[in-house]
Amino acid sequence: MDADHINKKIEITWAAVDIYQEKGRVSIPDLVQATKLSATEIYELFPNKKAILAYFYPALVMQYWAMIDEIEDFENYSISEKFSNFIYTMFDLMAERQHFVKDTFDKLVFRKGSSSDFHEETTTLFKEFLTTDGNIAVSAGFFMGDTYYKILASQYLFLIKYWLNDTSDNKERTLALSDKLASLFEEIVYNKSLDKGFDLIKFIFGGKDFESWLPKLDDWNCSSSKKKKKDNTETNIEIESEDE
């Protein structure tokens, strides 16, 4: 699907969510009026109204991909800074349409788990963060694979649930928890202690034979960086914050 189709889908979804925020439901006639598109054009992109509303969540991650290009020196952020930036930005975007998120996140995303498009998009983003970071310890790379990135994305869904139910002022508890989790995660994946142990073993056994079965971190670290970002990362999508 090209960038124009993705942008049009996002435009339709934003309009649908805004209608839902106002009326608690969305109808195709309302959507036609809001987007100036025909019903036929809308159904060419979405099979039904539920699919339109569900697209809001993966579209948030697509929006974030586009925002990364506008963040100066983002590629040099530490892994905790990248995760924190993503988490806080997503909370801000969701807060703009919090009524919709409270009503729909559980049934459109959380219950579907790893089968949701939002989970898939988040998994891809987390994989990009981790496989392009040159500070990841070799030992951490041993257990990082597609399943690992999916588990991280699943844990992120629980963090969103916590945020939705957080009654503290300005969601302070969720923000504090996010900071602690991001810092702990960085400490784990940047820890070079095991790497030093492997270096010692290589020295003792002469290095070459031992190195032959060790994973190549450079290969692992660059595996996804050669891939081009999805078409949607090249689009210049802008979310207009709705008036309170």
Domain parsing of the chain, residue ranges: 1-54, 56-234
Q: What is the pLDDT, as a whole number, of residue 238?
A: 46
Q: What is the pLDDT, as a whole number, of residue 117?
A: 96
| Full 3-state SS string of 91-141 | HHHHHCCHHHHHHHHHHHHHCCHHHCHHHHHHHHHHHHHHHCCCCCCHHHH
Q: What is the pLDDT, as a whole number, of residue 142?
A: 78
Cα separation, 90 vs 86, in Å, equals 6
Tell me the per-residue pLDDT of 36-45, one tens digit each, with 9 for 90 and over: 999 999 999 9
Tell me the per-residue pLDDT of 47-84, one tens digit each, with 9 for 90 and over: 999 999 999 999 999 999 999 989 999 999 999 999 99
pTM above 0.85, yes or no: no
Q: Does domain 56-234 have CATH number 2.40.50?
A: no
User: Hey, what CATH class is 1-54 in?
Assistant: mainly alpha
Q: If the chain, 244 residues long, is cut into consecutive pieces of 10 residues, what is the mean pLDDT of each piece?
A: 86 96 94 95 95 97 94 94 97 95 96 95 97 89 88 96 96 96 94 66 56 49 47 44 42
